[in-house]
Amino acid sequence: MAKLRALKDKLKSVPLPVRPQLRDPRTTARIVLGVLLAANAIAAAFAFRPWADSPLKLERDLIGLRKNQITTRTDIEKLKLLVKKSDQARIEGDKFLGTYFLGRRVAASTLASELTGMAKGAGIRPKEHSFGFEPIEGSDSLAMMTITANYEGTYADLVSYVNKLDRSPRFFIMESLAAAPQQGGNGVLNIAIKVNVFVRDDSGAPLLAAKEPPASEKPSAEPEAPKPPPIAPAKVGPPVDKPIQKANVKKGAAQ
């Protein structure tokens, strides 16, 4: 028994750790205040979002977007204006081509008639006309028509005819002009003119040289009809120029 009592006395003398008093009101209040402070900090972080852009920066971005919108609208209006001008230019170009450039199908007959009319108005006698077509590099709708024409007339009449060609709305381009006096022609010249003019290639046929045939050389409707005898090259104008020229040559030789 004495030993047991001695052991109890030793145990009583050993200091034991004291447990905290969780039921202390001050400790509980501190814990609650800490939890509330943490919750407020989290709520403030989500409310103000310090990691996001500042309101000033957002306002600057908004101003920049508005400026870009205005610039884009201005560019769109400019493009619309350019499209409108392009369409107008295309319409005006087609109208110009239709007014001043003949189609290939009617160019030969129309230009031959106009050249003959200008020649008669200037006082020179038209003779034969020949035509040729050449493609224009880089264009699939235009072709170059070459007209070679022969005339007879005086120098003053030739000057008048050249002025008429220059003022013609067909935009004739004179490539060459040659004039030689006739023997005993009393100032009459043999004139050879080569002009170029643009035409609309609306036929789709290959561009080959063509010569204006006279009415007597057109194909006959009867295949078994006898062929006519060979005749001189095609004449546009009075067919009495060649005999007169021969008479003049004989008269000069007699002198």
- State the pLDDT at residue 20: 53
Beta bridge partners of 131: 147, 210
Angle at 224 between CA 223 and CA 229, to 5 degrees: 95
Domain 104-213 CATH class label? alpha beta
Q: What is the pLDDT of residues 109-128, one digit of tens each?
A: 888 888 989 999 989 999 88
Q: Whole-angstrom Cα distance, residue 68 to residue 66?
A: 5
User: Would you say 194 and 147 are in contact if contact means Cβ atoms under 8 Å apart?
Assistant: yes
Question: If you average pLDDT over each of 34-43, 137-146, 154-163, 177-186, which comes out highest?
Answer: 154-163
Q: Would you call 247 helix, strand, or coil by DSSP?
A: helix
pTM of the predicted structure, to 2 decimals: 0.48
3 versus 191: the higher-pLDDT residue is 191
pLDDT tops 70 at residue 224:
no
Burial profile 148-169: b = 16 or more Cβ within 10 angstroms, e = fewer: bbbbbbbeebbebbbebbeeee
Q: Would you call 233 helix, strand, or coil by DSSP?
A: coil
DSSP states of 186-203 as a string? TT-EEEEEEEEEEEE--S
Name the DSSP letter for residue 169. Answer: T
Q: What is the pLDDT of residues 154-206, one digit of tens each?
A: 999 999 999 998 888 888 888 999 999 888 768 889 999 999 988 887 765 55
Percent of the chain with pLDDT over 90: 22
Q: Whole-angstrom Cα distance, residue 219 to residue 216?
A: 9
Q: Whole-angstrom Cα distance, residue 60 to residue 243?
A: 97
Structure tokens at 74: 């201005």
Structure tokens at 122: 């200037």
